[in-house]
Amino acid sequence: MQRLLSLRDEDVECVEQQILGSQIKTSPRPSLQSALGANIQMSVWHAREKSPPPEPGEYPTFRFETVKVNSRGDVVKRMLAEATMFIEDLGEGVTLEMVKIPGGKFMMGAPSGEEGANEAHRPQQEVTVPEFWMGKYAVTRSQWQAAKLLAQTGPDPDTAEPTPAQNHRSSVQPLQAQPLQAQLKDLNRPIENVFWADAVEFCQWLSQHSGRAYQLPSGAQWEYACRAGTTTPFYFGETITPDLVNYNGNYAYGRGPKGKYRQKTTEVGSFPPNLFGLYDMHGNVWEWCLDGWHHFHLDHLDHTTAGSAWRLSGQKKFLCGGSWSYLPTNCRSAYRLNYPFHSRIDDIGFRVVCQSLSA
């Protein structure tokens, strides 16, 4: 037909564009912000094709500054450091930054004489931790809401096999946390009011979306990552201050000062990180770990390797890191709190780990 009418290629292209433009109407995918504003009343979001992670030498790095304090909380040293990062795309402009944690050995638990330590933190044992990746921040409200959208395209709950978390959760409903309206603002603050099983299911949905295996950190992974090579009660040194950590500033640790009590969470990344480039491992929100609760001195467990969590069963789980409403002693690297997996409160959140980025 083109030859019969003596039409040029340019003429045909112009006609095709006019015809197709009148027949095909595309509507942009609503943004996460607009979806939240409409109480997530949106069409089904189809998962995008999975893309493999970059080659090991292609991971981006980021630079940051951390500090060291003396026993009075005075900053005595500022250090520049660099870490390797992988960015997981959650869609709708929301990402999850994962930091590479180098493998190594450390003494898990509190040393003799550490203020505030008890039998739950002793005896210390040397633990070998293989390399893994950990969330740069605690999971935020925007990341949580992105997971809620991802969950809309998951398997039919009436036909899918129950997950371990669902078997463990009794009557807890998935991804509830605080009422939606309460967390439509301040999207860069950590999600809170989270059941342990909710956190586990977030990891499962993230794994399904990415093709990579995400989970909660084991207790050993969490403490190793928090310490970042330090042996002091905090990764900043012998004490902390409200200028460095979000906790109940009406109280002090050791010779450190009292200060501001914010009485709420702060945006992730508001304070200096540790030497691994992880933010808010002290304070802000408690963070769930995968482990079932146990006492070092009673259970006689082998803590020498940290490839997996210890004793997953049990009604109580590990919480680590302290929170905005707790005392500074509860924010120590070695401190762990036992808490029922079926309970939640407004200062409990979590962060995720990934053992390998291979899909």
Q: What is the pLDDT of residue 296?
A: 52
DSSP string, 192-230: -S--HHHHHHHHHHHHHHHSS-EEPPPHHHHHHHHHTT-
Contact residues for 307 (Cβ-Cβ < 8 A; gap 6+): 130, 355
What fold characterizes domain 56-354? paralog of FGE (formylglycine-generating enzyme) (3.90.1580)
User: Six-digit token pair at 311?
Assistant: 């004793």
- Relative to beta strand 104-108, strand 94-101 is unpaired
Which of 115, 62, 80 lies closest to 333 in space, CA to CA?
115
Bond prior to 174 in cis (omega within 30° of 0): no
For residue 209, count CB atoms less than 10 angstroms from its CB and return exposed for 0-12, middle for 13-18, buried for 19 or more: buried
35: pLDDT strictly greater than 70: no
CB 274 within 8 A of CB 226: yes
Tell me what percent of the residues of the chain surpass a pLDDT of 90: 57
Q: What is the pLDDT of residue 244?
A: 98
Q: What is the pLDDT of residue 54?
A: 61
Which of 21, 241, 111, 119 lies closest to 13 in space, CA to CA?
21
85: pLDDT strictly greater than 70: yes
Q: What is the pLDDT of residue 18?
A: 44
Which pLDDT tens digit goes with each residue over 96-142? 999 999 999 999 999 988 999 877 677 899 999 999 999 999 999 99
Which pLDDT tens digit goes with each residue over 297-321? 444 444 445 545 555 556 789 899 9
Question: What is the band of 55 on the pLDDT scale with cuts at 50, 70, 90?
Answer: low
234: pLDDT strictly greater than 60: yes
Nearest-5° Cα angle at 335, 334 to 339 = 140
Average pLDDT over residues 2-18: 45
Other CB atoms within a 10 A radius of the CB of residue 116 amount to 17
Q: What is the pLDDT of residue 358?
A: 76
From the centroid of its chain, how far is CA 42?
26
Which pLDDT tens digit goes with each residue over 158-217? 333 434 444 443 333 444 444 444 555 789 999 999 999 999 999 999 999 899 999 999
Stretch among 2-6, 250-254, 343-347 having the lowest mean pLDDT: 2-6
Which pLDDT tens digit goes with each residue over 316-349? 898 999 999 999 999 999 999 999 988 889 999 9
**Largest separation between any pair of C-alpha atoms in the chain:** 95
Q: What is the pLDDT of residue 219?
A: 93
- Relative to beta strand 75-91, strand 336-340 is unpaired
CA torsion sign for 135, 140, 142, 144 is positive
Q: What is the pLDDT of residue 292?
A: 83
